[in-house]
Chains A and B, each alone.
Chain A
Amino acid sequence: MISLVVVSHSRPLARAAAALAAEMGTGGGPRVEIAAGLDEETTGTDGVAIAEAIGRADEASGGDGVLVLLDLGSAVLSAEMALEMVDPEVADRVRLSAAPLVEGLVAATVAAGAGGDLERCAEEARRGTEAKRTHLGEPDGAQPSAPKDDGDQPCEWDCIEVSVTMEHGLHARPAARLVAAAGSVAPDTRVRVRNQTTGTGPVDALSLSSVATLAARQGHVLRVEATGDRAGAVLQEIEHLARTAFGDEPGPAQPLADVEVPAPAVSDQPGVAGSGLEAAMGPAVLDRTVPEPEEREADTPQVEQERLDAAVHEALARLGELAQHARRHLGQGQAEVFDAHATLVRDPELARDVGSRIQQGQTAAVAWQGAVGDVAERFERLPDPYLQQRAQDVRSVGDRVMRILLGVAEPESLGEGVLVVDELDPAIAISLDAAAVQGVVTRRGGALGHGVLIARARGVPVLTGAGELPDVAAGTMIAFDVRAGRLEIDPAPEVQAAFTEMLDRRRREREHALADTHLPVVTRDGARITVKANVSSVAVARLGAGLGAEGSGLVRTEAVFAQWHRAPTVDQQVEVYTAIADAFAPHAVTIRTWDVGGDKPLDFIPIAEEANPFLGVRGIRAFRDDPALLLDQLEALCRVGRTHRLNVLFPMVTSVDDVDWARSRLQEAARRVGLSAPPRQLGVGIMVEVPAVAVRLARLARGLDFISIGSNDLSQYTLAAERGNPQVAPWSDALDPAILQLIRTICDRAPEGVVVSLCGELTSDPDVAGLLVGLGVRELSASPSAVPTVKARLRAASLRDLQDLAAGAVAARDAAAVRDLLLT
């Protein structure tokens, strides 16, 4: 691939132009070298620096050539000078482009990414202003280049028509993806595009500038034509692109949606993997906080703005490094956190706000603090808890720039012990040395913050929301246990000893459990128990399978697609469900249909506001009036179910009529894919979360393959206490003996041949898991990280002992008594 060199008078300008062009990236764009400014601030061009940049670019291009984009004046003279300085052989492979810098760079980047050679990229750069000129109706543009027809020789063009669905039409990024698709089959297969709605074209699909002249807006129809060996393939790809809004929709299941899954360490490298013990003890290590901006007279707005720009610039550079580090050690998902932070730093709204504050005479630091504070507050006021916690990201980004503005060093190395912070900054979470930091306690911030997610992904124990800790001095001994929700500050020697013992026990248990986790669970007296994983994304499915889960007992589809603004198509769902099923093959996965309502909003399934959403339109109730989206989902399940081991699970079933209605919809979906009945191996089951279902289970479950107890909802409906409301916490404990009694009743009343599964949070505590087995549950679905320990614990138990334990628990006075029983 050719490389590009940007020559400009201004280094920030060149860098920004390169960043803009990189946004067009469809991945794997060309190398872009920059030779701009005499230094960070001094405007000018430097022929020697240009020569060096050309040298580096040439090396990266492997001899494919270098295109130099320039701004004006001395840039041109200096670049020509540079050409005389480099090896003449290299100079032969270099073109200086007369194109306008920004347009030329963008066009050349896309053309190079599509595999265009030096001449093609130079031509694309030259024509970079084409779309703008056409739009503004200025004459004298070169005609959009249609691919040359082969004169008299007619050639066969295959064609498809696709719709432009994106709100902003076929704008630059989607157009770049189209060009990349065409580039992947060039030159032997040629692709051209017409805008059928406006009658423009055809234009060469390899040319971004020409495609842009089609001015394809939302609702327009494009006719894409291809000729050559791979015409069919490329048209299929473009059709797929068009269906997915040319990649402009958020992709499937971003890992950030996995808000409840503390995943284990992903790297063996010392210092990277945390203990994974969900508990830690050590001396308190305090994070240096960011000081308040000093009070001083502001310099001129220009000086303050420059100060801020420099700080923002430095912050962006550091975020780039962190993203790279994350990509290496923790994978793409975690790296995207820092990319997202960079986007926040670059946010134009924020820049405008800070800019106007500076104009009003504030110092850079005060202006930045104020503007960032406003943004964070806006996030905090949003109704969605996930978005609320993004305020933490905003503050983290704000602190980063603030530290630079105030000249305060980043806390690079933290001492050994337990880190105590207000909120866990993702940058600290990613860079902390897990060999030294045994655990983290946060004062503010919930369990969904990015920093917390990253630390948990590394296996670093994190106790969140410890509230107003008394001012712990550095070095104070701190011990905490996430599972028990327990925090000890300066514990007595005997408490320390108990913690040490508990940590040792957990460590041994974990090592042991991980070693055996892929073995099945058979209790000492021969009972076979299945342990599965709860899944909220493809990534988590792979994680669960890797940790020894025997399939998934609950795929939360509303969580998998939580980030989507538009309903996924049947094809998109097929792709995701297939990936999840593949992850667990040969074990079965249970896919729950959209469980919306209550506290789980989905953009694409609007639910009217209700006074009491948990008792309102939830689960399958939401589709009684309009089953279209449910039918799409069931259609996808029928398609995947033909080739994979799947179960379908209906949530929020209450009546016999609900079950009949749901089964009829499944039948209808099967007919849509050309089957007379749903695939035979597709198991059908219902959630048992409404107490009424438990009461009339024998009748409701007849003919089903399985039932799945949702212990979270079953508890809150039975105890009439909302689980998220701390004021009723004393009444909402899922270990209440009444709930245990109800679970036992369900197990007893389930018709012969109907498997009883349990998929609530209860299963993730290894002690409680044993209790559930004692009550009669034979299939558990837990969070992936809990699977090894749960399996190990059950393997070591005997069913008879567990049944005795269950009998005692059901007879206990209250939940506290049950807990005491579990500990003995």
Chain B
Amino acid sequence: MADLTAFQSWITTCATAIADRADDLTELDRAIGDADHGSNMKRGMSACAQLAEQEDFSSIDAYLKKVGMTLVSTVGGASGPLYGTFFLRLAGPLAASEQVGAHEFGQALRAGVEGIVARGKAELGDKTMYDALSPALDAFEEAAGAGSDLADALQAAARAAAEGRDATEPMVARKGRASYLGERSVGHQDPGATSATLLVEAAAQTLT
């Protein structure tokens, strides 16, 4: 079961991971996009990481909503509204929860990922963050359905996300700036799928 502190730890851990990998993310984005994904995500996530110090949150959902709004305002690129939507939707099913288990988190994760799909209108294979998040969600639900607890289910999700991320390399981008490149986007890992994997991996480390 994860409490507010664990969720705050998820965000700070993720912020650190993103900051550590910011240059890599930017490099990936330079190959097929506009070379700003690393700096955008770093700016957004570090703003989120400071939230816990700036404000006392009374609940998990209030905290996650604030994270979502912060991303919307600070990321700047398309990841802002996408991840912003993810966290805002994630917060919904967790309203009034003080301790979150595998079942509840599964519902929240589904709402969050569906939010991203609705916002970005992406499909599997478009070479986007959804290509990492979708297998992660499936793996999480499968594990949770089989009786795994939150930590184990997230471990499964993180592995699936990484596999999904790696699978984006041979894909042809069909969304965002990368779509202008068409076939030339083949051979590059998608930066969005990469940051999404970092997000899930951070969850696996902290939400226990």
Contact = CB atoms under 8 A, between A and B. Distances in A.
A74 B76 contact: yes
B77 A44 contact: yes
Nearest to B120: A77
Interface residues of A, number: 16
Given A44-B77, A46-B80, A73 B69 contact: no
Contact of B84 (A38, A44, A81): A81
A74 B85 CA distance: 13
A564 B30 CA distance: 55
B176 interface: yes
Nearest to B33: A73
Interface in B101-133: 119-120
B190 interface: no
Interface string A266-282: 00000000000000000
B78 A77 contact: yes
Interface in B67-97: 69, 72-82, 84-85
Given A77-B78, A78-B81, A47 B177 contact: no
Interface class of chain B by DSSP = helix
A479 to B, nearest CB: 61
Given A46-B73, A46-B76, A47-B72, A73 B176 contact: yes
Contacts of A73: 77-78, 176-177
A48 B66 CA distance: 12
- Residue from A9, A38, A49, A77 having most chain B Cβ neighbours under 10 A: A77
B76 A48 contact: no
Contacts of A289: none
Nearest to A46: B73
Contacts of A74: 76-81
Which of A42, A44, A46, A73 has the most chain B CB within a 10 Å cutoff? A44
Given A74-B81, A77-B82, A49 B73 contact: yes
B36 interface: yes
A38 B75 CA distance: 8
Given A77-B120, A81-B119, A47 B76 contact: no
A241 B10 CA distance: 67
A44 B36 CA distance: 10
A80 interface: yes
A587 B15 CA distance: 82
Interface in B157-180: 176-177
Contacts of A43: 36, 76
Nearest to A44: B76
Contacts of A80: 81, 119
B26 interface: no
**Which of B74, B78, B82, B176 has the largest count of A CB atoms less than 10 A from its CB?**
B78
A38 B119 contact: no
B189 interface: no
A294 B136 CA distance: 59
A49 B80 CA distance: 13
Given A73-B176, A73-B177, A44 B81 contact: no
Interface in A12-44: 38, 42-44
A100 to B, nearest CB: 16
Contacts of B36: 43
A81 B81 contact: yes
B76 A42 contact: yes
Contacts of A47: 72-73, 80-81, 84
A396 interface: no
A195 interface: no
B134 interface: no
B130 to A, nearest CB: 14
9 contacts: A38-B73, A43-B36, A44-B77, A47-B72, A73-B78, A74-B80, A78-B72, A80-B119, A81-B119
What are the nearest 6 A-B pairs in CB distance? A44-B76, A74-B78, A77-B81, A47-B72, A81-B81, A48-B73
